[in-house]
Amino acid sequence: MKRASGIRLELGLLTLLAALSALSICAGRVWIPLTHLGGETDARWLIITALRLPRTLLGILVGAALGLSGASLQGYTRNPLADPGVLGVSAMAALGAVLTLFLNLGLGSPWILTAFAMGGAAVGVTLLILIAGPAGDAVSFLLAGVILSTIASAGVALALGLAPNPWASSEITTWLMGSLADRSIVDVQTAAPFIFLGGALLLTTGPALDALTLGETGARALGISLRRTQTTIAVGVGLACGAAVAVTGVIGFVGLIVPHAVRQFVGERPSRLLIPSALAGADLLLAADILVRATPHANEVHVSVAMAALGAPFFLGLLIAMRRKLA
């Protein structure tokens, strides 16, 4: 019964993704209906291949990475408030990326920056688990997240401020408020392999996340290795989330909102949330990006601002609901 509804949900999310992708290619400052395209000489063809296609692909990849990371982190920590953005993992990835600029490493090669971003994210997850303790409750995880994201954000500002860089303040914004605008196919090529690899790792944690429903002792008694699970989560989130942040900057709340929405359809079993959360994350980020582009304004709003506008009230609602449950 649950499995059938899971497959139905996945098909629905895929259909929605196809529709949103088409819309994302058509929509923007100029509306380009796909049916009215001329040959390759059409100038509008360039807009699509050089700008909108990479942007759409990146929206799908990054949204999926964030949704899947959120679902795995929530499963691992048994904390419905976990999200790479909220808990400072993405900010740690940004700090890693910015360090390469500060240290003048590998300018011109996106690989070194991406590697540092992924390293930052993996260190972020590990620190989070270490600070909150092995059996951390919701409050300790949130506090650990606040500490991590404060330090990482300050580190980003500091590194960019100290770097010999006249555009420091705009760079800070670029990293801490992520966006999908003006990305190229190179960005897609840089991020995609790591997002796929990280995603594949996270998908293998399903049985361990299910077993962790019984707590750490319960899971160990079922033969689950906590250390292996923790390493897989740290490396998986590090790769997926780090690669995402390396090309878009920090985009929060996708990983927070998406698993909650998915639970309404397939129940709370952690392994059942992983694939739908990746799909729904792609849907959500793509939809938000289309909305951002459609806003009639001289300067485009960053998609992370739109996500925050959506995510912060959602987060508040969750907190209130949790308090009611505890009271």
Partner 1 sequence: MGNASTDLRAENVSVSLGGRDILSHISLAFAPGRVTAILGPNGAGKSTLLTCLVGLRAPGHGRVTLEGSAILEMSARERARRIAYLPQTPEIAWGLDVRTFVRLGRTAHRGVFGESAADARAVDEALTSTGLSDFAARDIRTLSGGERARAHITRAFAGEPDWLVADEPLTGLDLGHQLDAADLLRRAAARGLGVVVSVHDLGFAVRAADRIVVMTEGQILSDGPPAEALTIEVLAKAYAVDARWVAGQSGALLDVIGRRGLS
Q: Which residues bind partner 1 (CB under 8 A)?
A: 1-2, 78, 207, 210-215, 217-218, 220-225, 267-270
CA dihedral (146, 149, 152, 155) in degrees, to 10, reads -70
Nearer Cβ to partner 1 (19/222): 222
Closest distance to partner 1 from the beta carbon of 221 (Å): 4
Nearer Cβ to partner 1 (199/252): 199
Closest distance to partner 1 from the beta carbon of 264 (Å): 12
**CA–CA separation, 164 and 298 (whole Å):** 30
**Nearest by Cα to 32 from 50, 15, 16, 58:** 50
Nearer Cβ to partner 1 (73/306): 73
Alpha helix segments (H runs only) across the chain: 2-26, 43-46, 53-77, 89-102, 110-132, 138-162, 168-176, 185-203, 206-211, 215-221, 226-248, 254-266, 270-294, 303-326
Closest distance to partner 1 from the beta carbon of 215 (Å): 3
Contacts of 125 (CB under 8 A, 6+ apart): 73, 89, 233, 234, 237, 238
Tell me if 10 sits within 8 A of 275, measured CB to CB: yes
Nearer Cβ to partner 1 (154/221): 221
Can you read off the two tokens belonging to residue 220?
């160990």
Closest distance to partner 1 from the beta carbon of 275 (Å): 13
Using a 10 angstrom Cβ sphere, with 0-12 exposed, 13-18 middle and 19 or more buried, the burial of residue 207 is middle
Nearer Cβ to partner 1 (74/90): 74
Nearer Cβ to partner 1 (2/29): 2
**CA–CA separation, 36 and 194 (whole Å):** 36
Closest distance to partner 1 from the beta carbon of 249 (Å): 32
Closest distance to partner 1 from the beta carbon of 62 (Å): 27
**Nearest by Cα to 88 from 163, 30, 149:** 149
**CA–CA separation, 275 and 209 (whole Å):** 14
Can you read off the two tokens belonging to residue 6?
């899971």
Nearer Cβ to partner 1 (210/300): 210
Nearer Cβ to partner 1 (44/220): 220
**CA–CA separation, 71 and 236 (whole Å):** 12
Closest distance to partner 1 from the beta carbon of 185 (Å): 35
Closest distance to partner 1 from the beta carbon of 141 (Å): 13
